[in-house]
């Protein structure tokens, strides 16, 4: 389902891009057009490109009173669980649907990776901001401590002679 896999979702092969016609004489796959899907018009082997179901073998479980077109319509309209379903796009072969499915998956992966990167960057920015706050706090503590020590040293150098004189200590 091209990156949107859902459990227990009923799908129809007639709406899937992997349902295609196969010409065994030429060993070539052909697009099964929307017009032909609706009409049940096929003279070739009906196949699932992903081999999720063997469509040609399902003709034996179709009601016996149906003609070839009725059987094809019956098979295409059976609801089933399929993990590989991808919506049919007119003009695309089954191989092209694989390429489109792969490209969609790459886009989804890139988007998820971008979201992960954004989340990581936001966490790193928050951690950096917290670190900066902590660093600024300690920078202020150190600056204040040095300021106090410088003030004490300056005061001591100014009052040192007075203290010596008061205590009766003479300089020799």
* Residues linked to residue 28 through DSSP beta bridges, in sequence order: 23
- 61: nearest Cα among 48, 74, 42, 47: 74
Q: What is residue 4's predicted lDDT score, i.e. its pLDDT?
A: 47
For the chain, state the CA radius of gyration. 40
Q: What is the pLDDT of residues 117-149, one digit of tens each?
A: 999 999 999 999 999 999 999 999 999 999 999
Domain ranges of the chain: 10-92
Residues with pLDDT less than 50, the chain: 1-6
Q: What is residue 3's predicted lDDT score, i.e. its pLDDT?
A: 43
Q: What is residue 75's predicted lDDT score, i.e. its pLDDT?
A: 85
The two structure tokens encoding residue 29: 């796959």
C-alpha 147: how far from chain center:
55
Q: Measured between alpha carbons, how far is 100 from 82 in angstroms, rounded to an integer?
A: 18
Q: What is residue 130's predicted lDDT score, i.e. its pLDDT?
A: 96
pTM recorded for the entire structure: 0.53
């Amino acid at each position: 389902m091209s990156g949107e896999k859902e459990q227990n979702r009923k799908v129809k092969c007639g709406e899937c891009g992997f349902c295609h016609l196969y010409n065994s004489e030429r060993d070539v796959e052909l697009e099964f057009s929307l017009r032909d899907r609706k009409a049940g018009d096929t003279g070739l082997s009906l196949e699932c490109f992903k081999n999720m179901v063997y469509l040609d073998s399902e003709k034996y479980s179709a009601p016996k009173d149906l003609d070839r077109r009725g059987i094809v319509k019956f098979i295409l309209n059976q609801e089933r669980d399929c993990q590989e379903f991808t919506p049919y796009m007119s003009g695309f072969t089954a191989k092209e649907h694989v390429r489109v499915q792969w490209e969609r998956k790459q886009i989804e992966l890139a988007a998820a990776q971008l979201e992960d990167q954004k989340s990581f960057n936001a966490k790193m920015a928050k951690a950096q901001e917290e670190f900066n706050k902590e660093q600024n706090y300690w920078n202020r503590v150190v600056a204040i401590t040095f300021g106090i020590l410088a003030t004490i040293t300056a005061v001591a150098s100014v009052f040192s002679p007075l203290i010596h004189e008061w205590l009766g200590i003479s300089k020799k």
